[in-house]
A = this chain, B = another copy of it.
Amino acid sequence: MWQLYQFPLCPFSRKVRLLLAEKGVGYEPVRESPWLRRDEFLDMNPAGQTPVMIDTERGGMPLIDSAAICEYFEETVEKASMINGTAANRAEIRRLVAWFDTQFFREITAPLLEERMVKRLVHRMTPDAGMLREAMKAAVGHLDYIDYLLDHRTWLAGATMSLADLAAAAQISVADYLGGIDWKSHEQAKRWYVGMKSRPSFRPLLAERMEVISPPADYEKLDL
């Protein structure tokens, strides 16, 4: 049985969970709060980050880093290929996954997690309004870019759904939970996201809650 070390608002764990659900791979989620820097967790992953996966039956080394984890399941489970097409298509998928995992995360998800989650849970502080404003402004730019991609394509990286869609939806869903997303004048991006939200792989994630922090009223809704 696979175990997945994660917490409900980790966008990289969400990307992995969406992939596993699309592929029909079962796993047991194990709650890990990386900000606590637990010794046993650091022994497993010196980077101290979620997600980490371990195969409790077969033993062996843990799988670490969400990109490496996704490539592993792409290579070992044929069903629902999410890095598909020609080598050029695959490069475009990986470019966009990196875009959402690094640029979107750095400008939007990471500051929202810091201001609205870590400050609250760890430091018992209130969020910095300026930081929240910056993140929400950056989100508008990213939704513009998604609109632009969808002007030319059915899915973010091309004609079929791919890991790029899962990576984007994972980041957006966390940002949305933390109140950072305003869909106003982003019709295309909104339609695409409602499509993602209505997938069976997505429903269980949307039903989860992080202690103390509540999402906005329409977080789970399909009619935004």
Picked from B90, B99, B102, the residue with its CB within 8 Å of the CB of A75 is: B90
Residues of A91-110 at the interface with B, using a CB-CB cut-off of 8 Å, are 91-92, 94-95, 98-99, 102-103
Q: How many copies does the complex hold?
A: 2
Picked from B63, B76, B145, the residue with its CB within 8 Å of the CB of A46 is: B145
| Interface mask (A57-95 → B, CB under 8 Å = 1, otherwise 0) | 000110111011101100110000000000110111011
Picked from B64, B90, B103, the residue with its CB within 8 Å of the CB of A72 is: B90
Flag whether A125 is at the interface (Cβ < 8 A). Answer: no
Given contacts A67-B67, A98-B68, A145-B46, contact A61 B92 (CB under 8 A): yes
Contacts of A67 in B (CB 8 A): 67, 94, 98
Q: Is the interface of A mostly helix, strand, loop or mixed?
A: helix
Given contacts A68-B98, A103-B47, A145-B46, contact A63 B91 (CB under 8 A): yes
A75 touches B60 (CB 8 A): no
CA distance A91 to B90 in the complex (A): 18
Chain A interface residues (CB < 8 Å from chain B): 46-47, 60-61, 63-65, 67-69, 71-72, 75-76, 87-88, 90-92, 94-95, 98-99, 102-103, 145
